[in-house]
Structure formats: C-alpha cells, structure tokens
C-alpha cells in the first residue's frame, strides 16, 4: 500500500511519537548510517545462518545482544528466564521445530526495512487512524522481540517464568508459524474514537426514542465466536491491558488469539473518558482454554475462526469484524457496598458516554463506511476485576445501543439466572414503551442503601415500574 493512513499527522509530531523509534531504518534522520540497526541486522543474519547448528544458546544471546545494544536504556538483560523455561519444557523432539518458528520471527524482522514506511507516527494529538497490511503488522510484531521498553515489547513475557508467560510464547510462535506458511493479504485499521459532546448531542437527540427491541441474549455464545459485527473488548485504559505481562482475562485473550491487535499498543496512549478504540480486520490465529492464570494455548478451532472467512473482506481489504475497546470504571471493594457509587449520576453518565461514543462512532460517516445496523456483541463489561454490577452494566449498554440504533447481542457467559433476569427486564421495558431518557431517569431514582443485593437494580426498577401510571405524555409515580 502507498503512504497509508498512518500519516494523518502534523509538523508538531516529534521523535518520541514514532513507533518503536523506527529501529528498522538503515539511516538516521540526518542521513547518516544507523549503526545500531546495521549491527542488529548483522546479528539477525548471523542467527539465520547458524541457528540449526548453534541452537538455543544462539537464540537467547542474539535477542540479548539486540536488546542491550541501545545506549538509551538503563535496564540491561543478562538472561531471558521465561524463554529458558519455555525451551526447557519443550520436548526434545519438538525443539528443532521451535527454533524454526523463531527463525520465522527473525526473517520477517529483516523485511521491516522493505515493508514499513520511513516514519510511523503514534495515534496521538491530531493523528486519527492508521492502516497497515497484515504483513506490515507482522514486521512490527517481530521487532517487539528486540525492543526493551516493557510496555511496547515482549520482554516482560521473555523474562517471566510464570506459566501464563510460557503459554503466551506459544500463542506468538504459532502466529509467526502460520504467517510464514502463507502471508495473509489483507489490511488492519486502528482508529481513535472521540466525541466530547455525546450527552449534549447524541443523548439529547435520542432520549425520546424507545429502548431498542433489537436485543438478543445468549447464554452459550462467546463474543469471539461471532463475525460481521463489533465485538466489545473489555479494555484497560491502556489498550491491551496486561497482555505483555501476566494478564490473562478477556482483553488479553482476544489479543493473543489475534496478535495483530497487539500493534495497537504501539500506537495509542491511554484512553480518555470520552474515547474508545476501534480495530477492524485483525485475523484470528489461535483458540484457547482456561482463564487468567490457567490460560492455555490451543490450535484454532472452527467456531473461533468464523470471522476469518475471506469472503467477508471489505473494499479496504479488511475482515469485517471490529474489536471495539472500551474501558470501564474500576470500583473498589465488594459490590454489595460499592453499588451506591455505581448508581451516582456522574458514574452512570461516564459509563454511558464511554459505551455511546464507541457504539455510535461508525454511524457518523467514517472514512471506512457506515456500520449502521451492524450488531454489537458484548457481555458483562467491567463486571469482573472492576466489580461492576451486571444488571446496571446491561442497562447502560442497552441505552447506548438504542442511541446508536444498532442491534445488541448480549453474552451472559453461562450465567443463565442473570440472563433470564435481563430478558425479564427487557420485556418489561418494551411492554411499558420506555424511552432512553426515561430509563436513564429511572436509574437515578434507584434507592441508595448501605448493603446491596446483586439484583437491587432490577428489583428497584420493577418496583418503580409497578408504581408508575402513564397518562398521555405524563407519568405519575405512586
């Protein structure tokens, strides 16, 4: 592709905003030879000549030499404990194959000079979006093995002996093995979504519209087992969360299944309250089992590969599945006591803005076309480690989807009891023809207490609805 969208930039962008400090360039900005890159290139070429004879020792020493050959870093590395443990746990009959997989990483890193433009700016300030070919994504990811800054490299994985780090190496190597067999020929787009006027514009315009009836609730469906939709990423404010460290929950798993999403961690700063991040076109390469510390890599299964159908590529060459990253508010303490905080208008508004900005974004005449009527697939966003209340989060996402005018497919992840409660509340809201604004107002009327039951939001709404009589356009609450 030509000078792609990565160059929505201004003259004010500085060196610190360049991706990976352009480590793959043979020349410096002033035209002088980039001696660091030239020496690292020589190390990579030497590895590719000698790895079958020298084995693991050459692999580790080559990565260490490249990591340490940067005068700007204060941290020096003597060993890579995580990589060593991974190698130790690899059966002898598979070690040759593992070396070959690492050789694939080295090979694609050498192609970065050819594949990547001279300057790639991070998506900050007036930079709006970036589009890379899948081959360019692979080149960027390969250099994350050789970059020492922990929040933008794989060094945290290579130096950790935690079992989840060993599994993450498997995810990454499988990705590079697959693309070495056949390089995908599509593109992946990354976009920063921002709307400072959501409540004043979108909410006010839509508040008198009825709550959407286009809502489906699934107990057995997983978000990643869908296609032709927007899949909600339960994100950290720093996109990718702990995927480069010890994290292993929803966001980190999605990024490991689709390593091209990790490129977003090179591009974005932390999300602001009125921001979301869109990734369109990332391919699924692996499946998984387990969760958190028990996460395990698995070969890709058909149910997880639905979005990989090449017939689903759009006019921009992207697989037509969007990962929509939104970060929830983190509430501290047990939900039975912090629900009062969650019900404060300021927090309800913040959560609605976050979801609404994301859900409405692609309907605003995006450069990549409209997502009008494309389903949003979500679930218990912010309800795990962030201690969010499930009924409240369901209703907030229901309002946001209604404002966006898009179908909502809601996954309960096997929580059939709560799923049935959501269905019951959905029917009640439809039966009484509640509008978006009325539901928002009702949430603010929920009684505040010292100790809460998880169903307090639904129970309170049912009670208020039972005491509400509508006469024309007026409501009377007894």
Q: What pTM, to 2 d.p., does this model score?
A: 0.92
Instruction: Respond yes or no: is residue 60 known to be catalytic.
Output: no
Q: What percent of the chain has pLDDT over 70?
A: 92
* Arithmetic mean of pLDDT, 344-358: 97
Joined together, the tokens standing for residue 332 give: 């501290």
Q: Give the pLDDT confidence of 250-284 residue by residue, as tens digits.
A: 999 999 999 999 999 999 999 999 999 999 999 99
Q: Give the pLDDT confidence of 277-330 residue by residue, as tens digits.
A: 999 999 999 999 999 999 999 999 999 999 999 998 999 999 999 999 999 999
Joined together, the tokens standing for residue 413 give: 């992840």
Evaluate whether 393 touches 382 at the Cβ level (below 8 Å). Answer: yes
Res. 70 pLDDT band, cuts 50 70 90: confident
Answer with the residue of higher pLDDT: 19 or 296.
Answer: 296
Is residue 361 over pLDDT 90? Answer: no
Res. 1 pLDDT band, cuts 50 70 90: very low
Is residue 3 over pLDDT 80? Answer: no
* Arithmetic mean of pLDDT, 134-143: 98
Catalytic hit among 178, 224, 233, 322: 233
Instruction: Respond yes or no: is residue 345 known to be catalytic.
Output: no
Catalytic hit among 224, 251, 275, 304: 251
250 is in an annotated binding site: yes
185 is in an annotated binding site: no
Instruction: Respond yes or no: is residue 233 known to be catalytic.
Output: yes
* Arithmetic mean of pLDDT, 116-126: 87
Catalytic hit among 5, 178, 202, 252: 252
299-320 as b/e: b if 16+ CB within 10 A: ebeeebbebbeeebeeebbbbb
Is residue 438 over pLDDT 80? Answer: yes
Phi/psi at 167 (5° precision): -65, -35
Is residue 452 over pLDDT 80? Answer: yes
Res. 364 pLDDT band, cuts 50 70 90: low
Res. 367 pLDDT band, cuts 50 70 90: low
Distance CA 172, CA 155 (A): 13
231 is in an annotated binding site: no
Half-sphere exposure in the Cβ direction for 452 (13 Å, CA): 27
């Amino acid at each position: 592709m030509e000078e792609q969208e990565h160059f929505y930039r201004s003259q004010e962008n500085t060196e610190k905003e360049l991706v990976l400090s352009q480590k793959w360039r043979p020349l410096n900005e002033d035209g002088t030879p980039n001696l660091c890159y030239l020496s690292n290139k020589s190390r990579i070429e030497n590895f590719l000549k000698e790895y079958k004879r020298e084995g693991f020792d050459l692999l580790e020493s080559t990565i260490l030499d490249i990591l340490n050959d940067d005068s700007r870093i204060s941290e020096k590395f003597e060993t890579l404990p995580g990589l060593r443990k991974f190698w130790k746990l690899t059966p002898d009959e598979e070690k040759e194959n593992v070396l070959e997989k690492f050789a694939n990483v080295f090979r694609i890193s050498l192609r970065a000079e050819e594949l990547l433009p001279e300057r790639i700016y991070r998506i900050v300030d007036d930079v709006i979006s970036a589009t890379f070919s899948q081959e360019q994504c692979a080149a960027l990811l390969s250099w994350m093995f050789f970059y020492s800054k922990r929040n933008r490299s794989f060094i945290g994985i290579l130096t950790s002996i935690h079992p989840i780090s060993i599994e993450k190496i498997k995810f990454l190597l499988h990705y590079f093995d697959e693309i070495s067999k056949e390089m995908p020929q599509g593109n992946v787009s990354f976009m920063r979504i921002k709307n400072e006027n959501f409540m004043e514009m979108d909410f006010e315009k839509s508040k008198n519209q009825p709550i959407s009836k286009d809502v489906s609730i699934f107990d057995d469906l997983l978000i990643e087992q869908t296609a032709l939709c927007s899949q909600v990423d339960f994100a950290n404010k720093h996109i990718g969360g702990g995927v480069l460290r010890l994290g292993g929950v929803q966001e980190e798993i999605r990024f490991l299944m689709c390593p091209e999403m990790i490129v977003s961690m090179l591009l974005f700063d932390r999300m602001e309250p009125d921001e979301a991040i869109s990734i369109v076109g990332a391919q699924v390469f692996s499946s998984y089992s387990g969760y958190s510390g028990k996460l395990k890599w698995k070969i890709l299964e058909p149910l997880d590969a639905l979005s990989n159908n090449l017939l689903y590529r759009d006019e921009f060459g992207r697989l037509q599945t969007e990962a929509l990253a939104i970060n929830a508010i983190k509430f501290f303490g047990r939900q039975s006591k912090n629900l009062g905080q969650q019900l404060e208008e300021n927090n309800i508004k913040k959560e609605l803005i976050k979801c609404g900005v994301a859900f409405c974004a692609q309907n605003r005449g995006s450069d990549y076309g409209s997502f009008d009527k494309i389903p949003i697939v979500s679930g218990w966003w912010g309800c795990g480690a962030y201690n969010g209340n499930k009924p409240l989060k369901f209703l907030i996402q229901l309002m946001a989807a209604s404002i966006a005018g898009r179908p909502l497919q809601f996954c309960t992840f096997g929580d059939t009891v709560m799923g049935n409660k959501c269905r019951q509340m959905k029917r009640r809201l439809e039966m009484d023809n509640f509008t978006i604004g009325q539901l928002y107002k009702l949430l603010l009327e929920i009684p505040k207490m010292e100790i809460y039951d998880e169903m307090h939001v639904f129970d309170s709404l049912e009670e208020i609805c039972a005491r509400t009589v509508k006469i024309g356009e007026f409501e009377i609450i007894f």
